[in-house]
Amino acid sequence: MLTPIPPVQIFGAFIGSGILLAFIITLTFIPAYISRMSPEALAKLQAALHTDANSSSVKATYLQRFVYGIRNVAL
């Protein structure tokens, strides 16, 4: 441990264990879940992701125009 403060050590241990658990779940559970999905469900998921990508690109375009419009004010 890098700090002599016990509450910070405990907090760091909880955060570290949570990150490790999330990493393990990401490497094991999510690929197994996706491999068990039906082809129809995968096609539906892919179609939904492509639809969301188009709508988010419109949002990104408006955000880009806004940010470039006020860039001199921010500087």
Tens-place pLDDT, residues 8-51? 999 999 999 999 999 999 999 999 998 999 999 999 988 887 77
Does 31 lie in the same domain as 54?
no
Q: Output the pLDDT for position 24.
A: 96
Does 72 lie in the same domain as 44?
yes
Q: What sign has the CA pseudo-torsion 37, 39, 41, 45?
A: positive
Q: Is the CB of residue 1 less than 8 Å from the CB of residue 12?
A: yes
Does 62 lie in the same domain as 43?
yes
- pLDDT category of residue 75 using cuts at 50, 70 and 90: low
Tally of domains in the chain: 2
For every residue of 40-51, which 3-state class applies, written as one string? HHHHHHHHHHHH
Q: Is the CB of residue 65 less than 8 Å from the CB of residue 57?
A: no
pTM for the full model? 0.51
Does 31 lie in the same domain as 55?
no
Does 29 lie in the same domain as 60?
no
Q: Is the CB of residue 9 less than 8 Å from the CB of residue 3?
A: yes
Does 42 lie in the same domain as 75?
yes
Does 25 lie in the same domain as 43?
no
Does 49 lie in the same domain as 25?
no
- pLDDT category of residue 52 using cuts at 50, 70 and 90: low
